[in-house]
Amino acid sequence: QAAEKGGYDWFMRKEIYEQPKAVADTLLGRHGADGQLKLDEIRISESELRAIDKIVIIACGTASYAGLVAKYAIEHWTRVPCEVELASEFRYRDPIVGPTTLVVAISQSGETADTLMAIRHAREQKAKVLAICNTNGSTIPRESDAVIYTHAGPEIGVASTKGFLTQLVACYLLGLYLAQVRGTRFGDEIGSLAAELDKMPAAISAVLADADQVQALAAEFVDAPSVLFLGRHVGYPVALEGALKLKELAYIHAEGFAAGELKHGPIALVEDQLPVFVVVPPQGRDLLHEKVVSNIMEIRARGARTIVLAEQGDTSVAPYADVMISLPKVSTLLQPILAIVPLQIFACELATRKGHDVDQPRNLAKSVTVE
């Protein structure tokens, strides 16, 4: 096993460092130099894709947070209403899906029972089902109308890392492809966004190169009883995923909140020395950026230790950050690919320091194949 870990102490750590390659492999061959997306594997005809009037994303756990990010991107690029639902909730209500609904099932393993049952239910209602999956030939893609495979390679660590990043990439590719097929007003932007996706492997490597700073943070907060994560827009699912990683691995109380909800409850939790990670939107998004900065001021005034993930050179937020983690400049919608990486490292490092088994956290399974 030591050889399989390639010199790393944990599979998870190895998988975190494999993310630039996993993302590059998932992008490979899926768009041309002309900027046109090529997703030949989507065996749903272009006319059927043009007829779609609703998209429903279903998934569990980390995959559901990839789905939440996808909602922002897909609705923005395609103008098709898009919902995200936990697979376990979807099939026990009476969801409105039909022949013009595209159900997107995201699953790293392709074997998660709730997601599988949900797609069966969707297909009974004649919806088209597209799987985003990392495991060739697994049950969910076999039972779907089409599949976009992520090419992360085998993921052994129970807590998903490269699986998540490649799910994000597949969702972006799907959103841009749908925009291309449907000819939305974002047609001109497709090429430039696809080109920006190509820069992500190098940008992830740049974030990984700053891991020392995050490792030092994990040492500092190893005894923290609770950690909060705040984000807004696509930073919100990043906050949820950052908190999930910490719960899964370090077994401490961690919660992710939408920053805009701060005054509706979370601020009551803020007390002296509480570590709060805040994902700040790129500066181009003026209004959003300003609002998140003001949230940081509010929690800092109440004694929180603010750990701010912000775009390189963001001087406006620096005065309110106890710690600044810089992220390479990127379009707002793509920022989650970079912003989650320090949070993965933080959780992995903190759990290691606590002496936990990072690859096989207590009570968790890699794939939940029963309800």
Does 326 bind ligand G6P (CB under 6 A)? Our answer is no
Least distance to ligand G6P, CB of residue 92, Å: 18
What residues from 110 to 139 belong to the interface with ligand G6P (CB under 6 A)? Answer: 112, 115
Least distance to ligand G6P, CB of residue 234, Å: 18
Does 295 bind ligand G6P (CB under 6 A)? Our answer is no
Binding segment (CB under 6 A) for ligand G6P, from list 108-116, 173-181, 262-270, 323-331: 108-116
Least distance to ligand G6P, CB of residue 22, Å: 14
Which residues, other chains included, contact 319 with Cβ-Cβ below 8 Å and sequence gap of 6+? none
Q: Is 366 a catalytic residue?
A: yes
Binding segment (CB under 6 A) for ligand G6P, from list 158-166, 206-214, 299-307, 309-317: 158-166
Per-residue b or e along 289-318, where b marks 16 or more CB atoms closer than 10 Å to that residue's CB: bebbbebbebbbeeebbbbbbbbeebeebe
Least distance to ligand G6P, CB of residue 171, Å: 13
Does 101 bind ligand G6P (CB under 6 A)? Our answer is no
Terminal CA-CA length for the chain: 31
Contact 34, 362 (CB under 8 A): no
Binding segment (CB under 6 A) for ligand G6P, from list 107-115, 205-213, 273-281, 308-316: 107-115
Catalytic residue among 21, 54, 329, 366: 366
Contact 203, 102 (CB under 8 A): no
Smaller CB distance to ligand G6P: residue 139 or 326?
A: 139
Does 360 bind ligand G6P (CB under 6 A)? Our answer is no
Range list of β-strands (E), the chain: 54-59, 82-86, 101-107, 128-133, 146-149, 226-231, 253-258, 275-279, 305-311, 323-327
Least distance to ligand G6P, CB of residue 107, Å: 3
Binding segment (CB under 6 A) for ligand G6P, from list 36-44, 55-63, 202-210, 303-311: 55-63
Least distance to ligand G6P, CB of residue 192, Å: 30
Q: Hey, what are 153's tokens?
A: 């390679």
Q: Hey, what are 76's tokens?
A: 């923005």
In DSSP notation, 116-133 reads HHHHHHHHHTT-EEEEEE
- The residue from 88, 139, 144, 160 that contacts ligand G6P (CB under 6 A) is 160
Q: Hey, what are 300's tokens?
A: 């800092």
Contact 15, 6 (CB under 8 A): no
Does 150 bind ligand G6P (CB under 6 A)? Our answer is no
- The residue from 117, 156, 206, 368 that contacts ligand G6P (CB under 6 A) is 368
Does 108 bind ligand G6P (CB under 6 A)? Our answer is yes
Does 161 bind ligand G6P (CB under 6 A)? Our answer is no
Smaller CB distance to ligand G6P: residue 27 or 140?
A: 140
Binding residues with ligand G6P: total (CB under 6 A):
16
Q: Residue 327: which of 316, 319, 340 has the closest Cα?
A: 340
Residue type, 66: A
Does 344 bind ligand G6P (CB under 6 A)? Our answer is no
How far is it, in rounded angstroms, from Cα 33 to Cα 35? 5
Does 61 bind ligand G6P (CB under 6 A)? Our answer is yes
Helix, strand, coil percentages in the chain from 3-state DSSP, rounded to 5: 50, 15, 35
**Quick one: CA dihedral 255, 259, 261, 264, positive or negative?**
positive
Does 310 bind ligand G6P (CB under 6 A)? Our answer is no
- The residue from 104, 159, 168, 341 that contacts ligand G6P (CB under 6 A) is 159
- The residue from 12, 39, 63, 252 that contacts ligand G6P (CB under 6 A) is 63
Contact 84, 72 (CB under 8 A): no
Residue numbers annotated as active site: 366
Site residues for ligand G6P per CB under 6 A: 60-63, 107-109, 112, 115, 158-160, 364, 366-368
